[in-house]
Structure 1
Amino acid sequence: MISLQCLNRVGRKMLTVGISGVTCGGKSSIASLLKSTFPRAKFICQDDFYFSCGDSKSQKLDSVGHPNWDSLESIDMISMTRKVQEIIDDVSNEKLPTQNLLIIDGFLIFNYPPLAQLCDLKYFLTLPFEECLARRRKRTSYNIPDQPSYFSDVAWPMYLLHLKEMQKLSFANEIQYLDGTASLHENFERILKDIETYFDGVLKRF
């Protein structure tokens, strides 16, 4: 359910929805459905802000020989946050309320407070280890395929670490958890209902 804190912000010119969570939990699929539902929505994906393999800022893993893709240090969070802020600022001069929506998709967007605090609605998808591993093994869209032990040695431990850190942050109570084993439609409808509730509140104030 949409938080009262978010409803108190009704009247802002841009609604930002952050969709985060475990790898293969359904983040991108939900974001895609939202983009189809709201064709005018803006979209930011954290994957587009990874540092290149040769960049000195990317964190290396000696065991696999390539960057730790599950580390916050492997992502240019400053540039990502700046881009989100630019999109929000672009609609700040609009005189009439419209359904301006920004969808932010990324597995670590809530572990970087400057970005997390720009998200009005925050959702986090979870999966148990075995289900997550099974889905990861079926996925073939990675530019660099996983090394045999990458998921169990790196991806899953980093997920648990980031989850623990996220739950200690000051805004942790704003995060709504979604069960990634539930149907994609069910989780999508949950988020869609909150978005519609927010936009209904905007119109009632004008």
Structure 2
Amino acid sequence: MNKLSKIFVVGLPRTGTTSICSTLLTLNYCVAHTAYTQTTFDKANAIADTPVFNDYKALHQHYPNSQFIYLTRNAQKWIPSIKQLLLRMYHNVVRDDGGFNPIIKRCYTEIFSPFTLDNINNDDFLLACYNKHKAAVTEYFEQQRHPVLFIDISKPGNYQKLLKFLNKQNINDDSTDLSFPFLNKGGKVTAWKDLKHPLKVDSTKNGRCSTLDHIS
């Protein structure tokens, strides 16, 4: 896998991005769960979450030979989970005197627009954001005639679909019994930070992020 060939996980936050990143580590990929520097993009073979879910079109243009995986999740489970996350993030997204880095702010305010507390607390709004994002991803890659793997990591058989998509189906003779790990349970979002693995790639350098001008 060269620098212009990556695996991008396009699913929205709280669809299982940490779980699939953990799985990709076990498949011997260098993995970044979020990427905010050019160094991260250069080092990682697989990247998920921010800014991928928002910048997939630019990433496809910059890394044309890449593989894209879209994570789906049952709306009744996703909506309360994403609501909890967005409410926790809200102040640091909207504040103009610091808070999250500009890439996080841009991605979340574009996908969940208008990014207001009223909207975050509105289940219909969140579902509309989910459906709009999935439809936009589907339409874009259909127009590009570029294959995308759509999977729900909670569904039986989707681990095997991932292995086949990545041409890794012979990596383990017992793969029929394998499934994705269930991480970040109960609204927690620290599983990736706590995970130790030699192939894990840092998202930032010394806490700083670049502007990623080539994909923005």
TM-score w.r.t. structure 2 length? Answer: 0.48
Higher normalized strand content (fraction of residues): 1
TM-score w.r.t. structure 1 length? Answer: 0.50
Higher relative contact order, structure no. (Cα contacts within 8 Å, ≥ 6 residues apart): 1
